[in-house]
Amino acid sequence: MQKLIGVIGGSTCTKEIYEIAYEVGKNIAKSGNILICGGLSGVMEAACKGAYEAGGLTIGILPGDSKEESNKWVKIPITTGMGMARNIIIVKSSDGIIAIDGEYGTLMELAICSKLNKPLVKIKVPFKIEAGIEENNPEKAVELLLKLLK
């Protein structure tokens, strides 16, 4: 059965982080699973682009009321009109989470992951949080999360 793999991270990122997120998305698609994220720019865009280009399904849980706010690699945009509160939906809907770098919205999602005991793999996350496992290789991070989900 396909898993919903959440990818969380900042709406802005460096080129290095963009490339890592792209590889994570690509590997999620290659594993036959579905990517779910916040649907905007930065890490979310890169992961969606990687998954989309690898033939995967991408879902964006959007903060606003317009499907047009999603990045162009989101196949299924879901509008919430909830702003950052939509982060709860992303985490609760995911079977497991891969966090890449991040900003304060990511920190909020990490706290929700911790509270809900969601399987979590972190890549270059700048926050000190005990939840999850650190793995900075994109391919290995996806493999590790999928092992945690078995």
Please name which of 1, 8, 3 lies closest in space to residue 120, comparing C-alpha atoms: 8
Buried-exposed string 1-38: b where 16+ CB fall within 10 A, e elsewhere? eebbbbbbbbeebeeebbebbbbbbbbbbebebbbbbb
Task: Render pLDDT for 61-75 as a digit per residue (tens, 0 to 9).
Answer: 999 999 999 999 999
Arithmetic mean of pLDDT, 71-93: 97
Task: Render pLDDT for 16-40 as a digit per residue (tens, 0 to 9).
Answer: 999 999 999 999 999 999 999 999 9
Task: Render pLDDT for 103-144 as a digit per residue (tens, 0 to 9).
Answer: 999 999 999 999 999 999 999 999 988 899 999 999 999 999
pLDDT at res. 104? 93
Question: What tokens were used for 101?
Answer: 């770098």
The 34-37 sheet, strands edge to edge: 76-79, 58-62, 34-37, 4-9, 96-100, 120-123, 133-134
Residue 1 has pLDDT above 90, yes or no: no
What's the pTM value of the predicted model, to 2 decimals? 0.96
